[in-house]
Amino acid sequence: MTIIKATPSDVAPIPAGCAGPTVPEDKGYLVEEIRGGVYWVSDGVFQAMFLTTGDGVIACDAPPTIGRNYLNAISDVTDEPVTHVIYSHSHSDHIGAAHLFPESVTYVASAETARTLARVDDARRPVPAVTFSDSFRLNVGRQTLLLEDKGPDHEPGNIYIYAPEQKILMKIDVICPGWVPFKDLSHVKDMPGYLKAHDDVLTYDFDVLVAGHVARLGAREDVEVQREYVMDLKAHATEAIETVDISRVFEESGVADPSRPGAGNPWLLFDVYLQTVADQCTQAMLPKWVERLGGADVFTFDHALVVTVQVVARVS
C-alpha cells in the first residue's frame, strides 16, 4: 500500500485560483469594503466581516490571529463604536479575540453555540446574551442581517450570516475557496450535515461568500466546485469499499499472520483495511483534483479516510 501524501519535496504547484489580494506587510491585515457598508478583514489565513450601520458596528467573528488589528481595521474605515458581535460558531480560532471589544457590546450567537461556550467557560469568548434557535433578524441602523441555524455541520450551532441587501453570505469552516477543505474535512463534526451545508449555502441569493479561511473571498462557483469534490470523495470511497477485498488486504499486508506479535489485533486489521480503502479513493481522486484545488495532494487522503470511516459506519 502506498499512501499518497505530498511532502515538501514533491508537493504540487498551487493552482492560480487560490490567490487573493496581498495583505499589506506593514499592517499585517487587509480591510476592504465588499459593498454597501460590509467589509472583510483578512490576515491571509483567517477572515472576519463587519458592517457599519450608522448606529454602530456589527462585528462578525473575531479571529485571534487578527487580534487587535481587527479594531485597527474597523477604525481605519469608521468612527462608529462596535455595538454588536456575532459568533459564527464556538471555535476559538474564529472568535478567540471577542474579549477585546468594549464590555458594552451585545454578543449574539445560536443557542447551541451559547451552550457550548457556557460549558467551556473561556474568558476570551464571552457567553452571548442574545441567542436564537432557528433564525434571527438583526436590525441595527441601516443594516439588516439574517442569522440562521440550519442544524449541525462543521459543528452544531455553526450559523449562516446573510446580508440580504448586499447579497453577501458568511458561512465559516465549510467552503475553502480555491482549496480542498482543511484536514479531516475541516474537523467535521456531523458528516451528513456538512454535505447538506453545500446545498444549503446555494439556497441563499449571494455572489460573495466570506468563508473564514485562506486568501480570498468566495463565489457561488467555489461552493459548486467543493460540492463536486466532496461528492466525488463519497462516491470513490463507496466504490473502494465495494471493491477492496478485506481478506486479501489482511493476507497481503501480513497483519493476520499468526506468527506476528500483532496477530489478532482487530484495531490493526481494520486500520490497515480503512487505509487501503482510503488510498484507493485518493488515487481515484487526484488526477481530477490536484490541479484544480490547492492542497488536494496534501489532504485528500485524510478526507478519504474520514469519509471511508463514515460510510463503513453507515453514518453518511
Cell (9 digits) for 308: 471511508
Region from 30-38, 66-74, 89-97, 249-257 binding Zn ion, contact rule CB under 5 A: 89-97
- Shortest Å distance, C-beta 155 to Zn ion: 6
- Shortest Å distance, C-beta 46 to Zn ion: 11
Q: Which of 84, 91, 125, 198 binds Zn ion (CB under 5 A)?
A: 91
- Shortest Å distance, C-beta 60 to Zn ion: 14
Residues making up the chain, counted from first to last? 316
Restricted to residues 168-197, the positions that interact with Zn ion (CB under 5 A) are 173
Distance, in Å, from the CA atom of 21 to the CA atom of 215, rounded to the nearest integer, reads 7
Region from 65-73, 90-98, 117-125, 236-244 binding Zn ion, contact rule CB under 5 A: 90-98
- Shortest Å distance, C-beta 92 to Zn ion: 9
CB-nearest residue to Zn ion:
91
Q: Cα 7 from chain centroid? A: 23
Cβ nearer to Zn ion, comparing 161 with 274: 161
Cell (9 digits) for 147: 442569522
Cβ nearer to Zn ion, comparing 210 with 256: 210
Cβ nearer to Zn ion, comparing 113 with 300: 113
Look at residues 175, 177, 143, 160 and name the one whose alpha carbon lies nearest to residue 35: 143
Q: Could you say whether residue 213 binds Zn ion (CB under 5 A)?
A: no
Region from 22-30, 85-93, 213-221, 280-288 binding Zn ion, contact rule CB under 5 A: 85-93
Cell (9 digits) for 281: 479513493
Cβ nearer to Zn ion, comparing 84 with 91: 91
Region from 166-174, 202-210, 235-243, 265-273 binding Zn ion, contact rule CB under 5 A: 166-174
- Shortest Å distance, C-beta 91 to Zn ion: 3
Restricted to residues 246-275, the positions that interact with Zn ion (CB under 5 A) are none
- Cβ 277 vs Cβ 228: under 8 Å: no
- Which long-range contacts does 107-114 make (Cβ < 8 Å, 24+ apart)? 108/84, 108/136, 108/138, 108/147, 109/157, 109/159, 110/147, 110/149, 110/157, 110/158, 110/159, 111/149, 111/157, 112/149, 112/152, 112/156, 112/157, 113/87, 113/89, 113/157, 113/158, 113/159, 114/157
Site mask, Zn ion, residues 4-43, x = CB under 5 A?
----------------------------------------
Region from 61-69, 91-99, 107-115, 174-182 binding Zn ion, contact rule CB under 5 A: 91-99
Look at residues 191, 114, 203, 204 and name the one whose alpha carbon lies nearest to residue 162: 204
- Shortest Å distance, C-beta 112 to Zn ion: 13
Query: What angle do the packed helices 266-289 and 246-253 form, to 10 degrees?
Result: 100
Matching residue, cell 442581517: 145
The site for Zn ion, by CB under 5 A, has a size of 2
- Shortest Å distance, C-beta 283 to Zn ion: 29
- Shortest Å distance, C-beta 262 to Zn ion: 36
- Provide the β-strand partners of residue 46: 213
The dihedrals phi and psi of 149, each to the nearest 5 degrees, come to -110, 110
Residues that bind Zn ion (CB under 5 A): 91, 173
